[in-house]
A = this chain, B = another copy of it.
């Protein structure tokens, strides 16, 4: 393997100069830089990240902690982040928490995370106090996507507003029995979305002067299967809701299937609206509240890199806009077969 000293020998310079030239630092004459670059190229020199990391304390690597990559939303955020990181010459270390329940603990506590990365991106996970402690002790910039955590750098949408938009859309259409499918508002996977979206739903009904009979809020675990099961329960009720607001498109999709199974027509018998604008949403004709998924990844990565570069940097809370996308799963209540 050709090392930096081979290049140094080749151009008859010190390794210090070669290092500076290679990294584009100032204090190297253009002539020298040119010769170094040419030589490195010719000799097929590739720097050793390990050595550079050891010497500089920087790894040019960012960790991304994600609940489940197979969930489209997360994959899309990762993709957005990866683009920005790649542009800036950073690598992305992926930590997927799915499957193994101990994974989360391991990543936050044991993981070599600590000396391995320059910064951390956390997706849709609200770190517990202990984890927060661990993170800040890292002494490295951290950005959280999809959670609201004062004092920390975050990128997210206004979840309550998104829920309000969705619910209001149903109210405006004339629905009065509107059910909600969400997820646990506490627990290991607690993040801001579940509680904020539930709050938005409740508040909107409230403002509309609609009573909320108990049992119209179900847990769909933020998965299609969970949404299906939840919808099945909701639609089997004697006082069947005429509309369902699912806090994620995946759950909404499950709800659509549940309706079909029960022989109910959408939107005639039941309207369904989701959140996300999942890539598959348009293929289901699903009305939804779109959020800039990809963009959240980009912004988060940009932010975390800025923290790495600028010395006078303070955590910022970025909120990206959402937008109602009306398709064909919502309409005014009607023609109910009863």
Contact = CB atoms under 8 A, between A and B. Distances in A.
A69 B78 CA distance: 8
Interface stretch (A24-32, A87-95, A198-206, A302-310): A87-95
Contacts of A256: 283
A68 B78 CA distance: 10
Interface residues on chain A, size class: 35 or more
Interface stretch (A9-17, A98-106, A158-166, A234-242): A98-106
Contacts of A106: 86
A43 interface: no
A33 interface: no
B224 A279 contact: yes
Given A93-B91, A114-B46, A256-B283, A79 B86 contact: no
Given A46-B115, A280-B280, A79 B83 contact: no
Nearest to A224: B283
Contact of A116 (B49, B54, B76, B83): B49
Nearest to A114: B46
Contacts of A103: 86
A70 interface: yes
A78 to B, nearest CB: 6
A230 B269 CA distance: 33
A48 interface: yes
A48 B50 CA distance: 10
Nearest to A110: B46
A51 interface: yes
Interface of A: 1, 46-51, 53-54, 59, 61, 64, 68-70, 72, 75-76, 78-79, 82-83, 86, 91-96, 98-100, 103, 106, 112, 114-116, 224, 253-254, 256-257, 279-280, 282-284
Given A54-B54, A70-B279, A78-B94, 5 more contacts: A47-B112, A69-B78, A69-B82, A75-B75, A257-B282
